[in-house]
Amino acid sequence: MSAEHVNCLIIGSGPAGYTAAIYASRANLKPILYTGPEPGGQLMITTDVENYPGYKDGIMGPQMMEDFKAQAERFGTDIRYEVITKVDFSSHPHKVWTDSDTEIHADSVIISTGASAKWLGLENEERLATTGGGVSACAVCDGFFYKGQDVAVVGAGDTAAEEALYLSNICTKVHMVVRRDEMRASKIMQARVFKKENIIVHWNNNTKTILEEDGKVTGIELLNSKTNEETTIPVTGFFVAIGHKPNTGIFKDWLDTDETGYIITKADSSKTNVEGVFASGDAQDHVYRQAVTAAGTGCMAALDAERYLGEKGIV
Ligand code: NDP
How many angstroms separate the CA atoms of 55 and 99, rounded? 36
How many angstroms separate the CA atoms of 179 and 258, rounded? 25
Which one of 48, 88, 99, 141 is the catalytic residue? 141
Identity of residue 274 = V
From 43, 118, 159, give the residue whose CB has the most ligand 1 atoms within 8 Å, as the site to mutate: 159
Q: Mean pLDDT of successive 10-residue segments in the chain (315 residues)?
A: 93 98 98 96 78 93 96 98 97 97 97 93 91 88 91 96 96 98 97 98 98 98 98 98 94 96 97 98 91 97 98 95
How many angstroms separate the CA atoms of 16 and 22, rounded? 10
Comparing C-alpha atoms, which of 214, 292, 263 is closest to residue 109?
263
pLDDT tens digits for range 18-74: 999 999 999 999 999 999 999 999 887 666 788 899 999 999 889 999 999 999 999
Are 174 and 152 a contacting pair, CB within 8 Å? yes
- Indicate whether this model's pTM tops 0.75: yes
Residues 236 and 260 in one domain: no
- Domains held by the chain: number: 2
How many angstroms separate the CA atoms of 158 and 160, rounded? 6
Residues 131 and 209 in one domain: yes
How many angstroms separate the CA atoms of 147 and 237, rounded? 10
> Which residue range is the domain that position 40 belongs to?
4-116+244-311
Residues 168 and 60 in one domain: no
Q: Which of 240, 260, 279 represents a domain boundary (last residue)? A: 240
Residues 234 and 252 in one domain: no
From 158, 163, 222, 239, give the residue whose CB has the most ligand 1 atoms within 8 Å, as the site to mutate: 158
Q: Which residues line ligand 1 (CB under 6 A)?
A: 51, 120, 154-160, 162, 179-180, 184, 242-244, 289
Three-class secondary structure of residue 297 per DSSP: helix
Q: Which of 240, 261, 281 represents a domain boundary (last residue)? A: 240
Identity of residue 103 = E
Task: Provide the pLDDT for residue 314.
Answer: 94
pLDDT > 70: percent of the chain: 99
Are 159 and 241 a contacting pair, CB within 8 Å? yes
- Whose C-alpha lies nearest to ligand 1, atom 16? 242
Residues 250 and 292 in one domain: yes
Q: Is 142 a catalytic residue?
A: yes
Residues 193 and 270 in one domain: no
Length of the chain measured in residues: 315
Comparing C-alpha atoms, which of 273, 272, 290 is closest to residue 281?
290
Residues 161 and 218 in one domain: yes
209: β partners = 221
Ligand 1: distance of its center to the CA of 248 in Å?
Answer: 20
How many angstroms separate the CA atoms of 203 and 189, rounded? 16
- Whose C-alpha lies nearest to ligand 1, atom 3? 157
Three-class secondary structure of residue 77 per DSSP: coil
- Whose C-alpha lies nearest to ligand 1, atom 36? 158
Q: Is 141 a catalytic residue?
A: yes
Residues 81 and 146 in one domain: no
User: Which whole-number Å values give the CA distances from 213 to 33, 61, 128, 217, 239, in the listed order?
Assistant: 44, 35, 11, 7, 18
Q: Which of 221, 240, 259 represents a domain boundary (last residue)? A: 240
Which one of 8, 138, 171, 299 is the catalytic residue? 138
Residues 110 and 248 in one domain: yes
* Nearest ligand 1 atom to alpha carbon 51: 40
Helix 158-168 and helix 187-195, axial crossing angle in degrees, nearest 10:
30
Residues 138 and 231 in one domain: yes
Q: Is 171 a catalytic residue?
A: no
In which element (H, E) is residue 166 found? helix 158-168
Residues 233 and 143 in one domain: yes
Peptide bond into 93 cis (omega under 30): yes
* Cα 218 → chain centroid: 28
Task: Provide the pLDDT for residue 224.
Answer: 98
Residues 263 and 236 in one domain: no
Task: Provide the pLDDT for residue 1.
Answer: 66
Comparing C-alpha atoms, which of 67, 65, 72, 79 is closest to residue 34?
79
CATH code, domain with 202: 3.50.50.60
User: Which whole-number Å values give the CA distances from 168 to 173, 201, 246, 292, in the listed order?
Assistant: 7, 12, 29, 27
- Is the backbone of residue 134 left (phi > 0), alpha (psi -120 to 50) or beta? left
From 59, 154, 179, give the residue whose CB has the most ligand 1 atoms within 8 Å, as the site to mutate: 179
Three-class secondary structure of residue 292 per DSSP: helix
Are 240 and 154 a contacting pair, CB within 8 Å? yes
User: Which whole-number Å values give the CA distances from 221 to 124, 149, 254, in the listed order?
Assistant: 13, 18, 43
